Amino acid sequence: MTPALFNPRVPSLIRGNLLVLASLALATLVSHFPALRETLWLLLPLLGCLTGTADTLRCIQKRWNLYHGGVLFCLYMDLMAITLVLFFLLYPYLQWVGEA
């Protein structure tokens, strides 16, 4: 039997969080933060963040308990990571708008 971490059919909170954090680290490297540059390669980390968020969302239970609250905190972290990757992706293109 394979562990739940490596089986995509089984919901795994660790796999979702690792995927989001790895995608955020990759986005930081690809964007050359703090000197942001225009690149569409940031769509790949964005897809990774969305996939990790969906995997984290699968872990929510129907009844509220402390595990459910912890999953909600992880989902908030995922939303902040998605926002940061979108900022890395869109901010260099918004610089052109201000120059006109």
Q: Which domain holds residue 59?
A: 13-99
CA 98 – CA 52 distance, rounded (Å): 34
pLDDT at 37: 85
Nearest to 41 by CA among 85, 94, 79, 77: 85
What is the model's pLDDT at position 24? 96
Q: How many CA atoms lie within 13 A of 13 on its CB side?
A: 13
In-domain check, residue 85: yes
Query: Is 5 within a domain?
Result: no
pLDDT tens figures, 14-27: 999 999 999 999 99
Number of domains in the chain: 1
Question: Within a domain: residue 39?
Answer: yes
Has residue 4 been placed in a domain? Answer: no
Residue pLDDT, tens place only, 54-95 = 999 999 988 999 999 999 999 999 999 999 999 999 988 886
Q: Which two tokens stand for residue 99?
A: 């120059």
The DSSP string of 3-24 is: -TTT-TTS--HHHHHHHHHHHH
Percent share of the chain, pLDDT over 70: 93
